[in-house]
Amino acid sequence: MEVSVISTESIRPWSSSAGRDNEFKPFKLCLLDQLMFSTHAPVVLFYPMKEAHHPDEKMVARWLKESLSKTLNPFYPVAGRVKDNLVIHDFEKGVPFTEARVKGHNLSDVLTSPRGGGGPKLEFLNNLLPFEPFCQGQENVASGSHTQVSVQLNTFDCGGIAIGINLYHKLMDGATTSAFLHTWGANCSNDPQLKKQPELHKASLVFPPRYSIPIESQTFSDRMLFEDVGGQRRQQGASRRFVFDEKAIATLRTKARLSVLHPTRLEALSAFIWESALRATAAAGDAQQLMFLMQGVNMRQLMSPRLSKHSLGNLVATAMASCVDSSNRSMEELVSLIRDGNLRVDENYLNAISGDQGFLAMMQGQKFLQEITGGFSRKTLACSSWVGFGFNNFDFGWGKPIWSGLFGDPSGEHPFMNNTIIFKEVAARGHGNSKAIEAWIRLDEDVMVLLEQDPHFLEYASPNPPLILD
String of b and e for 42-72 (b: at least 16 CB within 10 Å)?
bbbbbbbbeeeeeeeeeebbebbbebbbbbb
Higher pLDDT, 134 or 231: 134
Within a domain: 469? no
Residues 178 and 89 reside in one and the same domain: yes
Q: pTM for the whole thing?
A: 0.93
What pLDDT does residue 120 have? 93
Please write the tens of the pLDDT for every residue from 377-409.
567 889 999 999 999 999 999 999 999 999 988
Q: Which sign, positive or negative, has the C-alpha torsion 128, 397, 313, 433?
A: negative
What pLDDT does residue 285 have? 81
Cβ neighbour number for residue 115 with a 10 Å cutoff: 8
Measure the CA–CA gap between 48 and 106, rounded to whole angstroms.
10
Within a domain: 117? yes
What pLDDT does residue 239 have? 93
Structural contact between residues 373 and 163, judged by C-beta atoms closer than 8 angstroms = no
Tell me the backbone φ, ψ of residue 79, rounded to 5 degrees: -85, -10
What pLDDT does residue 143 have? 40
Residues 114 and 230 reside in one and the same domain: no
What pLDDT does residue 95 have? 96
Question: Does 53 have pLDDT greater than 60?
Answer: no
Within a domain: 258? yes
Confidence bin at 430 (pLDDT 50/70/90)? low
For residue 438, which of 409, 405, 414 has the smallest C-alpha distance? 405
Question: Does 314 have pLDDT greater than 60?
Answer: yes
Within a domain: 470? no
Within a domain: 331? yes
How confident is the model over 317-344, as a mean pLDDT? 87
Question: Does 432 have pLDDT greater than 90?
Answer: no
Measure the CA–CA gap between 161 and 167, rounded to whole angstroms.
19
For residue 3, which of 86, 102, 97 has the smallest C-alpha distance? 102
Question: Does 229 have pLDDT greater than 50?
Answer: no
Residues 155 and 66 reside in one and the same domain: yes
Boundary of a domain, candidates 174, 206, 238:
206
Measure the CA–CA gap between 281 and 232, rounded to whole angstroms.
19
Most trustworthy range by pLDDT among 37-46, 357-366, 456-465: 456-465
Residues 152 and 248 reside in one and the same domain: no
Question: Does 26 have pLDDT greater than 80?
Answer: yes
Strands of 87-89's sheet in order across: 27-28, 87-89, 81-83
Question: 46 pairs with which residues across the strands?
Answer: 162, 403
Residues 64 and 10 reside in one and the same domain: yes
Question: 82 pairs with which residues across the strands?
Answer: 88
Question: Percentage of residues in the chain with pLDDT exceeding 90?
Answer: 63
Tell me the backbone φ, ψ of residue 275, rounded to 5 degrees: -60, -45
Question: Does 142 have pLDDT greater than 50?
Answer: no
Range of the domain at 296: 216-463
Domain count across the chain: 2
Residues 302 and 378 reside in one and the same domain: yes
Boundary of a domain, candidates 172, 206, 240:
206
Within a domain: 211? no
Cβ neighbour number for residue 368 with a 10 Å cutoff: 11
Residues 233 and 382 reside in one and the same domain: yes
Within a domain: 32? yes
Question: Does 200 have pLDDT greater than 70?
Answer: yes
What pLDDT does residue 72 have? 96
Residues 267 and 193 reside in one and the same domain: no
What pLDDT does residue 327 have? 63
Residues 31 and 108 reside in one and the same domain: yes
Looking up residue 428, the CATH number of its domain turns out to be 3.30.559.10
Q: Is 462 helix (H, G, I), strand (E, B) or coil?
A: strand
What pLDDT does residue 374 have? 64
Question: Does 375 have pLDDT greater than 60?
Answer: no
How confident is the model over 95-117, as a mean pLDDT? 87
Boundary of a domain, candidates 184, 206, 228:
206
What pLDDT does residue 365 have? 86
Within a domain: 124? yes
What pLDDT does residue 226 have? 72
Strands of 437-444's sheet in order across: 316-322, 292-298, 380-385, 420-425, 437-444, 237-244, 462-463
Measure the CA–CA gap between 183 and 309, rounded to whole angstroms.
14
Question: 81 pairs with which residues across the strands?
Answer: 89
Least confident among 134-148, 279-293, 363-377, 420-434: 134-148
Confidence bin at 287 (pLDDT 50/70/90)? low
How confident is the model over 208-213, as a mean pLDDT? 91
Confidence bin at 288 (pLDDT 50/70/90)? low
How confident is the model over 399-421, as a mean pLDDT? 83
Measure the CA–CA gap between 3 and 102, rounded to whole angstroms.
5
Residues 447 and 392 reside in one and the same domain: yes
Residues 107 and 188 reside in one and the same domain: yes
Higher pLDDT, 132 or 378: 132
Confidence bin at 138 (pLDDT 50/70/90)? low
Question: Does 22 have pLDDT greater than 60?
Answer: no
Higher pLDDT, 315 or 377: 315
For residue 16, which of 78, 99, 102 has the smallest C-alpha distance? 78
Cβ neighbour number for residue 461 with a 10 Å cutoff: 23
CA distances from 89 to 16, 27, 77, 118, 214 (A): 13, 7, 7, 45, 22
CA count, 13 A, side-chain hemisphere, 151:
23
Residues 329 and 405 reside in one and the same domain: yes
